[in-house]
Chain A
Amino acid sequence: MVAGGALGIVFGARVQNVVGSALGSGLGGLLPGGNRFRIYTVSDSFPDIPPSTYRLKVTGLVDRPLDLTLLDLMSMPKTALVKDFQCVTGWRVPNVHWEGVRLSEVLAAAGVQRTAGGLEFGSYDGVDTESLTLAQAGRPDVIVAYRMLGGPITTEHGGPVRLYVAPMYGYKSLKWLSAIQVVKQPTPGFWEQNGYSTDAWVGNSNGRDDTPID
């Protein structure tokens, strides 16, 4: 049994890919190796943010610092994305529906200054942080999301508002997004400080070869 366990540890990642696709993300996803969401919260509990009290602050190297409510975000041009959600630990949930406003739109409203090089993100959970370069933030598939799987984002999935960085591993999509600070050179976030890649492109970072998100 111990030998089996050891083999499973070393080769399990490859087996997981096969098993994940075979089991899918429906009922089969509930079995070990299945493609279902898992939640790796780093704080003590999920932050409870009543939608009316939600605020997104945009500060730093901007002409117009912002203090956006949920309604403010919802009144900005809407973007919908349907993409696979890939976690760096192996599971991949296919065709997740997201809605929100492009991060580039939010930054345009704030007026990013020429000295800026990147962004630092903060979460209501008080622990998790993330970062992006300005080029990454300008992509059309990077949004400030407020709807997921056909409804408002639930608390456990990071609602009411989270960052969603479609082409990168899930840990970049910071939950319970509270703050965006525009800086010259962003400090790597929580997971990066724990050994994961900063430029977390799916299939091209963290030593993994998953299928990139289209």
Chain B
Amino acid sequence: MTASLFAILMATALPLYFVQVEAFIGRRNLVAEVHTWSGVVLPIPLVVGVAGPWGSRLRRDVRRFNIWSAAEVRWLRTLGRTPLAERDKFNPGQKLNAFFVGGAIVVMLGTGSILKWYRFFPLSWRTGATFVHDLLALAIFLVVFGHISFAITHRDALRSMIVGWVPEGWAKRHAPGWLAEERGQEELPEPDPVPAK
């Protein structure tokens, strides 16, 4: 559902940003309303998913974003050039994406609110908010493009998002730490980094 809202936001952003697209589609007020209300509604399923009693597994996953092993930190510091034996449910790239999306939702919501309810803020804030909103929108388009590219080139991961599970063999190879955790077993010590496959 969040993905659909994201898609609506991005689609309606194009006529709002590019005059030529706006001229072609027209109905600017309608496009703007759909865009702003999609933005306001977007966090709701996320908050409901995380906050409710049904959200314990989701909360555990969210906590994983903040837990970085030494190897993962090293990977990040060397910008992906050190080989990394995957252990956790999420790889460092996925954790970074989660950071970015989380931050982006907050900043877009904040700047978007200033754009929509500009009367309540100093005019210079409207200009500043426009600038930040535009720039972050560009970054979001690039990140989403990368996100979808990874999904298309990693069919196993894509399928797991659709069906909700992964084969045990996949987990043994890509996320042994998570597999052990799911099985209630003690986590194996981190092996020496294996060369990238």
Contact = CB atoms under 8 A, between A and B. Distances in A.
A176 B111 CA distance: 31
Nearest to A34: B134
Interface string A5-24: 11011111101100100000
Contacts of B119: 194-195
Contact of B127 (A6, A13, A44, A196): A13
Given A1-B106, A5-B106, A45-B26, A15 B111 contact: no
A16 B124 CA distance: 10
Contacts of A36: 19
B66 to A, nearest CB: 15
B23 A44 contact: no
Chain A: interface size category: 35 or more
B35 interface: no
B85 interface: no
Contacts of B132: 5, 8-9, 12
Contacts, number: 109
B55 interface: no
A155 B23 contact: yes
B128 A39 contact: no
Please report whether the interface of chain B is mostly helix, strand, loop or mixed according to DSSP. helix
Contacts of B99: 1
A2 B107 contact: yes
B89 to A, nearest CB: 23
A90 B26 contact: no
A33 interface: yes
Given A38-B19, A41-B28, A9 B114 contact: yes
A32 B124 contact: no
Contact of A1 (B18, B107, B114): B107
A46 B134 contact: no
A190 interface: no
Interface string A108-149: 000000000000000000000000000000000000000000
A95 to B, nearest CB: 18
B30 interface: yes
Interface string B94-130: 0000011001101100110010000100111111111
Given A2-B103, A32-B134, A90-B127, A156 B22 contact: yes
10 contacts: A4-B107, A9-B114, A9-B125, A13-B124, A13-B127, A13-B128, A33-B135, A38-B19, A90-B127, A195-B119
